[in-house]
Amino acid sequence: MKISLRETAAVLSAAQKVVITAHTNPDGDAIGSSLGLMHFLKSLGKDVQVLIDDDIPAIFDMLPGYELLGKPEEGQNIAADVLVALDVSLDRIGRVKDVVDAEVLNIDHHITNDGAADKLYLDGTCAATAEIIYQLVKEMNGSFSRDCAMCLYTGLATDSGWFRYSNTTPETLRAGAELLAAGAEPNLISEGLERRPYESLKGLADALQHMELFHEGRVVGVFLDFEMLEHIESAEGLVDMIRKVEGTELAIVLKEKEKDSCRVSMRSKGLDVTKIATQFGGGGHVRAAGCSIARPFAEAKAALLAAIADALEPQA
């Protein structure tokens, strides 16, 4: 059931024990919005914990509350007043939905959200779920501590490409300015998130050797099968790197993370990539989307390229 921002605020105001979660393979918005909401609700005297069913990248350790991020355990059973799922549809929160017994409140900015939660607040005009949490704090007449501001600014900045992407609006910038005034330190955030181990940078260099152009240079892609990934330490951030190739409209990265199971990331300069991602059960935004394809590497690559060919308009 879709609800309003005011109704969302009412649900959180009435709850005393709250569990917060976000999607697996968490990014800056998932982690920033989760920790930001945690700090705010704790300031109201509520019992709050954050559970994410995945490892949390160490680059986020500069965020206040990073050490409080938990992971669901086998056989765990948590009774709560509400489970808040941020930046995600419920099919991507992993085991958290199995260990928490509570009504589910879903807060998201992805237009492809499946609406499966008990209650859903969705605003696709926001650059990040962190921007919705910012609005929620305002709706609840709250204030931003430095800890809350640091986390929400991280979500806002990362999902807007440091305020460079087309999803950046005047409201996004106003939210960022208020979070700065509340104590967010963008230099600490950017320096923390830009850290990369030597092996990670070398992995990106190795992965770039597999870059290919398609459709007369309109599409750039990197396709890494299971064997290739065994020799590449890390390829995180690859899709944002190749999207800079001059003349391209679409950047894609496909990784066979497990045998016969591929993960896809897409970034576009104009094409609506949700139309491609949803064909494989994925979702996201018009300019940034992803999906998983449960097929062997060669089949997954062929299916993805076929879907892209169908989506591309003929060259004028």
| pLDDT of 220 | 97
Which CATH number is correct for 198-312, 3.10.310.30, 1.20.120.1200, 3.10.180.10, 3.30.1490.150?
A: 3.10.310.30
pLDDT exceeds cutoff 70 at 4: yes
Q: What is the pLDDT of residues 44-96, one digit of tens each?
A: 999 999 999 999 989 999 999 999 999 999 889 999 999 999 999 998 899 99
Q: What angle do CA 222, 263, 287 make, to 5 degrees?
A: 75
pLDDT for 234 = 73
**CA pair distance 59, 27, nearest whole angstrom:** 11
Domain ranges of the chain: 5-194, 198-312
Residue 244: what pLDDT? 92
Q: What are 160-173's pLDDT values in tens digits?
A: 999 998 899 999 99
Burial of 288 (0-12, 13-18, 19+ CB in 10 A): buried
pTM of the predicted model as reported, rounded to 2 decimal places: 0.86
Rg (CA), the chain: 19
Q: What pLDDT is recorded for position 316?
A: 43
Span 249-258, average pLDDT: 94
| Residue 314 pLDDT grade (very low, low, confident, very high; cuts 50, 70, 90) | low
Q: Could you report the per-residue pLDDT of 195-214, keeping only the tens digit for each?
A: 888 888 888 899 999 999 99
Answer for the pair 108, 122: CB distance below 8 angstroms, yes or no. yes
What pLDDT digit, counting tens, does each position of 291-302 carry?
999 999 999 999
Confidence of residue 235 (pLDDT cuts 50, 70, 90): confident
CA distance 200 to 197: 5
pLDDT at position 197 = 84
pLDDT of residue 27: 93
Question: What pLDDT score was predicted for residue 200?
Answer: 82
What confidence score (pLDDT) does residue 98 get? 93
Which residues make Cβ contacts (< 8 Å) with residue 105, sequence separation at least 6? 8, 11, 12, 82, 83, 84, 85, 117, 118, 119, 120, 121
> Are the beta carbons of 308 and 219 closer than 8 angstroms?
yes
Nearest to 284 by CA among 260, 303, 298, 264: 264
User: Terminal CA-to-CA distance of the chain, rounded, Å?
Assistant: 43
Domain 5-194 of CATH type 3.50.50.60: no
Q: What does pLDDT average to over the chain?
A: 94
* Tens digits of residue pLDDT in 16-33: 999 999 998 899 999 999
β 283-284/288-293 pair status: antiparallel
